[in-house]
């Protein structure tokens, strides 16, 4: 397997990564053949996976716009992945020049590529850290050097919590982050679920099996289980809904059926 020049040293390019698979779904170029092979296997069961990722990214952009409208100019994006076109810093800084964005990911390729993309941007940083260790994120000098947690922050947990198993206590991690935020902060969240997928659960389970095989289990949670992540927040209208239904720019009926898979929501910390 040929090693791309941009691949950080020490990375085993034969092992798939969820952030690089996501990059592939979105049409990005920072993925390896092992990632593409896993993605193609997953799409054999669920061919609409790229549509789900596109709906996810479109929701994120609308939610960031909502945060800026509320006067929020600080963003903490955990599980940020590889910053393909239209990522948080581009959206936020276009709407509010000087908006500050801290990206967090544990994939070395995502971190290395983010550093390259953000080079020369004084209002954005990337941290190599893991959502499952929120205190390490909150205690990072890089974070405190950019964001003022005494002022409102938009916390993004977009398409990441479904890769955190219950044994790693994702609810505790999200609560720890919430307790560090100032009133007026918002939580922007998406999560995979069997709900809304235009397939039988058995067929969709084939995709879940692919992720399990690459040792990145995909945890499909129910609407109520996803809603628990918003404990301590006041849900912003229209609540926890399919991604195209959250404050859409265009009529949702024009969306691909796969776009309605899973849930998205925004919570306000009062």
Contacts of 139 (CB under 8 A, 6+ apart): none
**Long-range CB contacts for residues 89-96, cutoff 8 Å, separation at least 24:** 89/118, 89/121, 89/123, 89/124, 91/60, 91/61, 91/64, 91/65, 92/64, 92/67, 92/68, 93/121, 93/123, 93/124, 95/64, 95/65, 95/68, 96/68
Judging by beta carbons within 10 Å of its beta carbon (0-12, 13-18, 19+), is residue 225 exposed, middle or buried? middle
Encoded tokens for 167 = 């044994």
Q: pLDDT digits over 38-69, tens only?
A: 999 999 999 999 999 999 999 999 999 999 99
**Structure confidence at residue 250 as a pLDDT band (50, 70, 90):** confident
- The whole-number pLDDT of residue 1 equals 59
Of residues 249 and 123, more confidence is placed in 123
Residue 193: strand, helix, or coil: coil
Identify the structural domains of the chain with CATH numbers, from first to last. 18-268 (3.40.50.150)
Torsion on CA atoms 208, 60, 189, 130, rounded to nearest 10: 70
User: Residue 8 pLDDT > 90, yes or no?
Assistant: no
User: Residue 81 pLDDT > 70, yes or no?
Assistant: yes
User: Residue 161 pLDDT > 90, yes or no?
Assistant: yes
Q: Is the pTM of this model over 0.85?
A: yes
Judging by beta carbons within 10 Å of its beta carbon (0-12, 13-18, 19+), is residue 104 exposed, middle or buried? buried
In this structure, the number of other CB atoms found within 10 A of the CB of residue 21 comes to 27
- The whole-number pLDDT of residue 29 equals 85
User: Residue 148 pLDDT > 70, yes or no?
Assistant: yes
């Amino acid at each position: 397997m040929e090693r791309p020049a941009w691949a950080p040293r020490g990375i085993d390019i034969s092992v798939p990564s969820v952030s690089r698979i996501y990059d592939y779904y979105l049409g990005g170029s920072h993925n390896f053949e092992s990632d593409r092979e896993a993605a193609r296997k997953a799409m054999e069961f669920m061919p609409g996976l790229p549509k789900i990722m596109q709906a996810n990214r479109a929701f994120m952009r609308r939610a960031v716009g909502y945060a800026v409208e509320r006067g929020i100019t600080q963003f903490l994006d955990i599980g940020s992945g590889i910053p393909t076109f239209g990522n948080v810093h581009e959206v936020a800084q276009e709407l509010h020049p000087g908006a500050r964005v801290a990206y967090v990911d544990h994939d070395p390729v995502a971190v290395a590529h983010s550093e390259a993309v953000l080079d020369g941007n004084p209002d954005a940083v990337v941290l190599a850290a893991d959502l499952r260790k929120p205190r390490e994120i909150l205690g990072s000098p890089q974070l405190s050097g950019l964001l003022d947690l005494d002022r409102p922050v938009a916390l993004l947990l977009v398409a990441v919590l479904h890769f955190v198993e219950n044994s790693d206590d994702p609810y505790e991690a999200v609560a720890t982050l919430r307790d560090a935020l100032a009133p007026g902060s918002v939580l922007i969240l998406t999560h995979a679920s069997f709900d809304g997928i235009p397939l039988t659960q058995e067929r969709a389970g084939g995709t879940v099996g692919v992720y399990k095989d690459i040792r990145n289990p995909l945890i499909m949670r129910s609407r109520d289980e996803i809603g628990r992540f918003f404990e301590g927040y006041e849900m912003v209208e229209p609540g926890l809904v399919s991604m195209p239904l959250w404050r859409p720019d265009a009529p949702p009926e024009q969306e691909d059926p796969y776009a309605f898979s899973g849930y998205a929501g925004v919570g306000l910390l009062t």
